[in-house]
Chains A and B, each alone.
Chain A
Amino acid sequence: MAKRNFQIYRGTKESGELAYYETDVSEGMVVLDVIHKIQAEQANDLALRWNCKAGKCGSCSVEINGKPKLSCMTRMNEYADDETITVTPMKTFPLIRDLVTDVSWNYEQNKKIKPVKLAKESKTAKGYVMYQKDVDRVQEFRKCIECYLCQNVCHVLRDHGQEENFVGPRFMIRVASLEMHPLDVEDRLPELKNEFGSGMCNITRCCTDVCPEHINITDNGIIPMKERVVDRFYDPVTIIGRKIFGPKKKKLPPIDLD
């Protein structure tokens, strides 16, 4: 057991301040454990979100000493023994109270994305046919736990308030996971370029740095999507090709079930 100092933001959008707490911390504790302890012993009405306590649900996102993190996966021994730990809510989203923010904007972005549409030709009596190598990349994006830490850190949203014009990294990879799905035959590139604002991202990679699932958001997701937009809308060769041959068809994986 060791005494540790904490500062936690208490209050609402209108008024609030960092409150100081001193509490005992034992071996193996993560920041979320300590916040819970403070809540149970000193601040019964401290508001925070959490569910799984194991980095699987993406509920417990906060900023710890200014860094966006999952509080359930941040060990106390990452910090020096005498360091005061400051926990504040995610800055990009409107504050509700204490550590809880209004993330509903994210849910609105998701609704704008056209759902998956699989090629009927690939359907067999045993289900759809696609191979592991075709889905590896898509599965990487589907690891996303919707913690919104990447949304929180992206300067386009955080500093420039462009939430009307850019869906943010989380939904860029959601689009990528559909566009790169080996059997998906929907077309989302026009809205990706326009409403979703793929051009707004200037590849700073801050989103990738904070992703607790280690998804390579920028290099594997956003950049290939930007390239597809460029190919489609700005490359004269493909534009002419499309006029003559019609839209490019996806090459579906072969079926060989015997």
Chain B
Amino acid sequence: MLDISEIRTVEHDVLVVGAGGAGLSAAIEASSHGLSTGIVMKSLLGKAHTVMAEGGMAAALANVDSRDHWKIHFRDTMRGGKFLNVWRMAELHSKLAPERVRLLEEWGAVFDRTKKGLINQRNFGGHRYPRLAHVGDRTGLEMIRTLQDHGIHQGIETYMECTALDLVKNEKGEVCGIVCMWRESGSFIIFKAKSIIFATGGGGKGWEVTSNSWEYTGDGYALAYEAGAELMDLEFNQFHPTGMIWPLSVKGILVTESVRGEGGILLNSEGTRFMFNYVPERFKDETADTEEEAARWLAGDPNARRPPELLTRDVVARAINEEVKAGRGSKHGGAYLNIATQRSAEDIKKKLPSMYHQFKVLAELDITKEPMEVGPTCHYFMGGIKVDANTTMSSVPGLFACGECAAGMHGANRLGGNSLSDLLVFGYLSGKNAAEYAAKKGSHDSLDEDQVRKIIRNATDILNRESGANPYLLHETLETNMQEHVGIIRSKENLEKGIDALEKMKADYQTVKAKGASQFNPGWHEALAMRNLLITAEAVARAALQREESRGAHTRSDFPGEQDEWLNYNIVSKKGADGNMSLSKTERLKPDPEMERIAKSTIEDLEKEIAQEQGKVGAE
């Protein structure tokens, strides 16, 4: 029998899994409570997915437009999320974001500046005012580097290129440890921890066309699920409207929304600016209805309404999809995104340097002269681990979650720019609450050796089998299946087909086999990740089948439109006693009446109210 005592065991009060913006924020906060804090990551420090975020972080700093206020940010977020957001999370986010962004500056972030020397803010889809603090189009890099450079001086232990396999619980059902694997050597490491924070990001790697990197295999969802935690809102996965579509090898790579924020327009093959035809009723009053008005907005006219290209991502992604279906797609089956006719070459290079570079190198195309070709790409999970809004603790005691792997903040659709600020706000809250929880806990539990042994055996079986399914092929099958059956437009028929195929893949997975030794073996890593992707994919598909309406990022061709009745429920999935996934329609918490009032006010009333509060009344 496997001798556990030979495996290195490390103790931390708080252990964070994932080192993107959320994980680093959480670790920094936890260690500031004087607790021993460790952070485990699959890649090297500073390489997490956050690095790819481009546009900016949303916070009502009101540096560019003094009318901005957390209440308006909150209202925008709720409307963007089709009112399915966990009210309290959206409230905390819009209230706390400004101070967290300013703290990032204190830690060394160097944002683009306004004329007055303050943090500059840009326009983005669904945000009423210029709200995104940014650094050109590489804001995520700025965030991760700042947190990294600050974090290394806080006494946090880092464990790089280390994959989390499964959680260990004590007899009371509380999380008390986790078993991980060094990717380099293939050897195992066991962590004892009083609380564990998941900041593991999403699971877009289950789809064929995705902006996500190899790391995005739904690890947090699957590990939490296996430990008995509840997942929520998994049917809402966002397809970003603008991914690259050509050449094929770069299909899916993100084209930042800042292109539209800076004035970029969408055209079909007939040269029509089609977004004017897709303005939803709810946004009609706040969206320009002529090209002339949109042009005035871009020129800075405060009375002009926003161009329709800046509608929320779900709307734009569906519109492009429709145009392509109607035979008006671009050469390679997407839409044209043109900034060349809207801005000078110099401006484009200054404001969107990495987009300029990306297209120049990867597509041999000069975006200051020619339009880009873009199409929807699987980008972000609004759903995830169900957490308490105030503490960010999951339904398993001692397990916390923040960032993309947590559910609730973004409801049915996330606004661009609300992700980076989410990482800062909820990373901080997770760090704080997990630290307080750990401090109360006292001593470490001893780990149940049977659980540890089982986790290790599950991993090594993949290498030891004589023969079995090839993990790479299994992954390909999954991607095709999800793209085809659980894509941007869904139906009962397709979802059922998708679920049947998943059942078959789950069976194949039982015999998955990786060739080679345990040392830096990508085939083995792929096989380990497949378990997590399959759980994630199943949760998405089953939740999508249950939600019989179209809301935000979840579109059912057989149930068009939002159904008021469905607004009262979340779909929660959990591992059932029989080992199968069980889903339930769970009633949502009632909103705080004041928050409900703010979210549902007209923009005019809300702005008047804010002006009054600030004593600006009559000054107009």
Task: Find A98's partner among B112, B145, B250, B520 (CB 8 Å cutoff).
Answer: B520
CB distance from B332 to the nearest CB of A (A): 11
| CB neighbours of B110 from chain A (8 A) | 135, 138-139, 142, 177, 181
| CB neighbours of B112 from chain A (8 A) | 132, 135, 139
Task: Find A51's partner among B107, B113, B214 (CB 8 Å cutoff).
Answer: B214
Docked Cα-Cα span, A177 to B146, in Å, equals 12
Is A118 part of the contact surface with B, judged by Cβ < 8 Å? yes
Docked Cα-Cα span, A115 to B472, in Å, equals 43
- Docked-complex contact B43 and A59, CB < 8 angstroms: yes
Q: Interface-forming stretch among A23-31, A83-91, A197-205, A221-229?
A: A23-31
- Docked-complex contact A131 and B47, CB < 8 angstroms: no
Q: Interface-forming stretch among B147-155, B171-179, B452-460?
A: B147-155
Is A237 part of the contact surface with B, judged by Cβ < 8 Å? no
A-B contact pairs, 19 of them (CB 8 A): A27-B248, A28-B250, A30-B250, A39-B522, A44-B515, A45-B517, A45-B523, A50-B214, A53-B253, A56-B354, A57-B213, A59-B47, A100-B520, A110-B149, A115-B149, A132-B113, A135-B110, A145-B51, A181-B110
| CB neighbours of B51 from chain A (8 A) | 51-52, 56-57, 145
Given A30-B249, A56-B138, A129-B117, output 10 extra A-B contacts at Cβ < 8 Å: A44-B521, A47-B521, A55-B358, A59-B43, A97-B520, A115-B149, A139-B110, A142-B135, A142-B142, A181-B110
- Docked-complex contact A75 and B52, CB < 8 angstroms: no
CB distance from A101 to the nearest CB of B (A): 11
Bitwise interface map of A from 126 to 160 toward B, beta carbon under 8 Å scored 1, else 0: 11111110010011001111100000000000000
Is B387 part of the contact surface with A, judged by Cβ < 8 Å? no
| CB neighbours of A51 from chain B (8 A) | 43, 47-49, 51-52, 213-215
Is A230 part of the contact surface with B, judged by Cβ < 8 Å? no
- Docked-complex contact B150 and A115, CB < 8 angstroms: yes
| CB neighbours of B214 from chain A (8 A) | 50-51
CB distance from A180 to the nearest CB of B (A): 10
Docked Cα-Cα span, A73 to B106, in Å, equals 33
Q: Interface-forming stretch among A14-22, A240-248, A249-257?
A: A249-257
Tell whether A130 pairs with B113 under 8 Å between CB atoms, given A44-B516, A111-B152: yes
Is A239 part of the contact surface with B, judged by Cβ < 8 Å? no
Docked Cα-Cα span, A53 to B45, in Å, equals 17
Tell whether A103 pairs with B116 under 8 Å between CB atoms, given A51-B213, A127-B105, A135-B110: no
Docked Cα-Cα span, A127 to B558, in Å, equals 50
Docked Cα-Cα span, A33 to B253, in Å, equals 13
Closest to B357 in A: A55
Docked Cα-Cα span, A73 to B112, in Å, equals 26
- Docked-complex contact B116 and A129, CB < 8 angstroms: yes
Docked Cα-Cα span, A56 to B363, in Å, equals 16
Bitwise interface map of B from 120 to 142 toward A, beta carbon under 8 Å scored 1, else 0: 00000000000000011010111
- Docked-complex contact B354 and A139, CB < 8 angstroms: no
| CB neighbours of B215 from chain A (8 A) | 51
- Docked-complex contact B522 and A45, CB < 8 angstroms: yes
Task: Find A97's partner among B43, B107, B118, B519 (CB 8 Å cutoff).
Answer: B519
| A contact set with B: CB distance below 8 Å | 26-30, 33, 39-40, 44-59, 73, 75, 96-98, 100, 103, 107, 110-111, 115-116, 118, 126-132, 135, 138-139, 142-146, 177-178, 181, 253, 255-257
Is B33 part of the contact surface with A, judged by Cβ < 8 Å? no
Docked Cα-Cα span, A134 to B249, in Å, equals 40
| CB neighbours of B247 from chain A (8 A) | 27-29
| CB neighbours of A142 from chain B (8 A) | 110, 135, 141-142, 145
- Docked-complex contact A256 and B116, CB < 8 angstroms: yes
Task: Find A96's partner among B119, B357, B516, B520 (CB 8 Å cutoff).
Answer: B520
| CB neighbours of A144 from chain B (8 A) | 145
- Docked-complex contact B108 and A115, CB < 8 angstroms: yes
Most-contacted residue by chain A among B48, B105, B112, B516 (CB, 10 A): B105
Docked Cα-Cα span, A206 to B311, in Å, equals 46
CB distance from B150 to the nearest CB of A (A): 6
Closest to A12 in B: B519
Tell whether A56 pairs with B52 under 8 Å between CB atoms, given A30-B362, A39-B522: yes
Docked Cα-Cα span, A144 to B153, in Å, equals 20
Most-contacted residue by chain B among A54, A110, A178, A257 (CB, 10 A): A54
CB distance from A94 to the nearest CB of B (A): 12
CB distance from A162 to the nearest CB of B (A): 23
Docked Cα-Cα span, A88 to B214, in Å, equals 22
- Docked-complex contact B253 and A28, CB < 8 angstroms: no
- Docked-complex contact B520 and A28, CB < 8 angstroms: no
| CB neighbours of A59 from chain B (8 A) | 43-44, 47
| CB neighbours of A129 from chain B (8 A) | 116-118
| CB neighbours of B363 from chain A (8 A) | 28
Closest to B521 in A: A45
| CB neighbours of B361 from chain A (8 A) | 55, 73, 75
- Docked-complex contact B45 and A44, CB < 8 angstroms: no
CB distance from A178 to the nearest CB of B (A): 8
- Docked-complex contact B47 and A107, CB < 8 angstroms: no
- Docked-complex contact A128 and B105, CB < 8 angstroms: yes
CB distance from A29 to the nearest CB of B (A): 5
Is B61 part of the contact surface with A, judged by Cβ < 8 Å? yes
Docked Cα-Cα span, A142 to B107, in Å, equals 14
Docked Cα-Cα span, A139 to B354, in Å, equals 13
Docked Cα-Cα span, A142 to B109, in Å, equals 9
| CB neighbours of B49 from chain A (8 A) | 51
- Docked-complex contact B520 and A26, CB < 8 angstroms: no
| CB neighbours of B107 from chain A (8 A) | 115-116
